[in-house]
Amino acid sequence: MKATIAVLAGDGVGPEVSTEAVRVLRTVAECHGHDFTFLDALVGGAAIDATGDPLPASTRRTVEASDAVLLGAVGGPKWSDPSATVRPEQGLLALRGLLGAFANLRPVQPHPALVGAAPIRPELLTGVDVQFVRELTGGMYFGRKSLETDGPGQEVATDHCTYSTSEIERVARVAGQLARERRRRVTSVDKANVLETSRLWRRTVTRVMRDEFPDVTLEHALVDSFAMTLLRAPASFDVVVTENLFGDILTDEAAVLAGSIGVLPSASFGERRADGRRQGIYEPIHGSAPDIAGQGSANPIGTILSAALLLRHSLNLTDEAAHVERAVGDVIADGWRTADLWSAADQSAPVHRASTTAMGAAVVDRLRRIMS
Ligand SMILES: NC(=O)c1ccc[n+]([C@@H]2O[C@H](COP(=O)([O-])OP(=O)(O)OC[C@H]3O[C@@H](n4cnc5c(N)ncnc54)[C@H](O)[C@@H]3O)[C@@H](O)[C@H]2O)c1
């Protein structure tokens, strides 16, 4: 297969971790006879420094000419002045808008060898395999905002939360399709006892699942009680679909289950193209980690697993994606750990203390053995 992948390494540890993910993708291409072209482009703070724009026109053109985007991370103290009009994160929002990326997937499946790294009782983590689907382009983050003065010393701030039927329908379909490939259960999270947008959300998800996914079991949960159950009984969920703001918070809560923010991937995509492919943005859930940038110690697993999601969701290369995931699982089982997992590592297992590049090399080595 021929594919073009835009690599937007970004800031901080972004270039370090995306380099390892590209090595993994090159190995997949070499072993399976695929022809992947990698196009580097600027985003975030690095793009502001070079062009004044966090998503410059040259990057937009590269992205538009690509089948998928592999992204590192953006941001850092150099660009964090709150009064600045141009900020790295604007590049991310513009990128999502450019690709119409309305669905954000975050799989959370703690590796058995890392359960000791999570601040949750190990027995609660057995069998946890949750696929979050967060709506990404609607709700309060994109609603009208205002700040008004209402007398001396009194300001009034407003953030509008808006959802339309079609915005909810399309993300509900993504959840339904994913559930069909898994355990056929969807939990829809809202606050329908209080919010009008949530009542529309609940009605719409109920209709889409009843009419289009009758083979999938749907349950509804209120966001506050769901937040508790996620820590009390995380293994009870399969696919979880929710709106933008709730999804942002709940997926960070769920990240705690995996032991380190460095090991979790994400995918963001819109509708499929006529050729069956779906352009998407694939990135680790962590940020640019400025505190460890340049030290060669960042965990590249989250970005490598994001590359696996790229293979599965944008290139339809499901076997290759599974090979990458298996290689990562094996390397963790073999005791390879970057610094974020050293202190918490299972002391009974042999632990190889790995740099970012050593961890990438271990995955590549394992992948070659799996694919040969
Ligand atoms: N999608 C993105 O690009 C994204 C997401 C979140 C934050 N950010 C930006 O990143 C910058 C730093 O934000 P933050 O410190 O709140 O979050 P962060 O995720 O960058 O870091 C939080 C903590 O996790 C550690 N960490 C993160 N990734 C790691 C990895 N791969 N391996 C080992 N340890 C890792 C960091 O060292 C830090 O201690 C900010 O400018 C923020 O705006 C960007």
370 CA distance to ligand 1 middle (Å): 31
- Largest separation between any pair of C-alpha atoms in the chain: 72
Angle between helices 14-32 and 356-371 (to 10 degrees): 10
Dump pLDDT digits (tens) for 238-258.
Answer: 999 999 999 999 999 999 999
**pTM, to two decimals:** 0.94
* Cα-to-centroid distance, 10 and ligand 1 (Å): 12
* Per-residue tokens: 204: 């719409």
Q: Is residue 360 part of a domain?
A: yes
Q: Verify that 328 and 242 share a domain, yes or no.
A: no
Buried residues in 36-54 as b, exposed as e (16+ CB within 10 A): bebbebbbbbbbbeeeebb
- For position 233, which CATH number holds? 3.40.718.10
Range of the domain at 345: 1-104+280-372
| Cβ of 286 less than 6 Å from ligand 1 | yes
Q: Examine the domain organization and report whether 366 and 339 are in the same domain.
A: yes
CA distance 298 to 241: 30
Per-residue pLDDT of the chain (372 residues; tens, 9 = 90+): 999 999 999 999 999 999 999 999 999 999 999 999 999 999 999 999 999 999 999 999 999 999 999 999 999 999 998 788 999 999 999 999 999 999 999 999 999 989 888 889 999 999 999 999 999 999 999 899 999 999 999 999 999 999 999 999 999 999 999 999 999 999 999 999 999 999 999 999 999 999 999 999 999 999 999 999 999 999 999 999 999 999 999 999 999 999 899 999 999 999 888 877 789 999 999 999 999 999 999 999 999 999 999 999 999 999 999 999 999 999 999 999 999 988 655 555 668 899 999 999 999 999 999 998
Residue of the CA atom closest to atom 36 of ligand 1: 289
Say whether both 126 and 222 belong to one domain: yes
- CB neighbours of 56 closer than 8 A, spacing ≥ 6? 42, 47, 50
CB contact at 8 A, 196 and 168: no
**Number of structural domains, the chain?**
2
The reply to whether 91 and 142 lie within a common domain is no
Tell me which amino acid residue 122 is: P
Hunting for tokens 């352009």 — which residue is that? 279
